[in-house]
């Protein structure tokens, strides 16, 4: 979009660790509502002649996840992270196995409980922990 006089409005990269609503497949289930997702990667690039922002987000769920010492497939969200991330006080998990690749902000979805597509922001420390765990998870899967 052009603002005139050579000034162009282009999409901006969201912060890693920001939490937005996205559609997740959860094993190809047909979910009726979006889930929160934490952004773990973002990149700008040309697509169909326009600058677009692509993101990878990991699903956040209330559903209890099974963890073992040798197969970490989810991270519990610490209690003190939940409010800044825009989550309720109930137990939450970041699912390392459930990701979506989406355009930002065009593919973000409204989260009714938040009244927005943007819920909040994880701390840098927790964001780093999620990204490291996701990277380790992907390495184990290859």
**CATH number of the structural domain spanning residue 119:** 2.30.30.110
Residue 49 placed within a domain: yes
d(CA 37, CA 140): 22
Domain count, the chain: 1
- Residues with Cβ < 8 Å from 76, sequence gap 6 or more? 65, 91, 92, 93
pLDDT band at 96 (very low <50, low <70, confident <90, very high): very high
Residue 137 placed within a domain: yes
Residue 109 placed within a domain: yes
Q: What pLDDT digit, counting tens, does each position of 29-60 carry?
A: 666 788 999 999 999 988 788 888 999 999 99
* Amino acid 69: pLDDT: 62
Residue 7 placed within a domain: no
DSSP β-bridge partners for residue 95: 74
- Range of 42's domain? 12-141
Q: Is the pLDDT of residue 73 over 70?
A: yes
Residue 81 placed within a domain: yes
- Residues with Cβ < 8 Å from 9, sequence gap 6 or more? 1, 2, 3
Find where tokens 């010492």 sit.
69
Residue 3 placed within a domain: no
* Amino acid 68: pLDDT: 65
Q: Is the pLDDT of residue 1 over 50?
A: no
pTM of the entire predicted model: 0.86
Peptide bond into 105 cis (omega under 30): yes
Residue 24 placed within a domain: yes
Q: Which of 97, 101, 117 is nearest to 39 (CA)?
A: 101
pLDDT band at 118 (very low <50, low <70, confident <90, very high): very high
């Amino acid at each position: 979009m052009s603002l005139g006089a050579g000034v162009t409005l282009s999409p901006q990269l969201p912060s890693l660790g920001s939490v937005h609503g996205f559609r997740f497949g959860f094993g190809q289930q047909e979910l009726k509502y979006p889930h929160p997702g934490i952004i773990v990667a973002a990149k700008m690039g040309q697509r169909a002649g326009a600058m677009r922002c692509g993101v990878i987000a990991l699903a956040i769920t209330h559903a209890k996840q099974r963890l073992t010492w040798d197969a970490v497939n989810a991270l519990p969200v610490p209690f003190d992270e939940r409010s800044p991330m825009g989550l309720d006080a109930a137990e939450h998990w970041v699912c390392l196995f459930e990701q979506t690749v989406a355009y930002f902000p065009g593919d973000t979805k409204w989260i009714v409980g938040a009244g927005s597509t943007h819920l909040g922001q994880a701390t840098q420390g927790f964001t780093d922990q999620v990204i490291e765990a996701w990277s380790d998870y992907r390495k184990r899967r290859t």
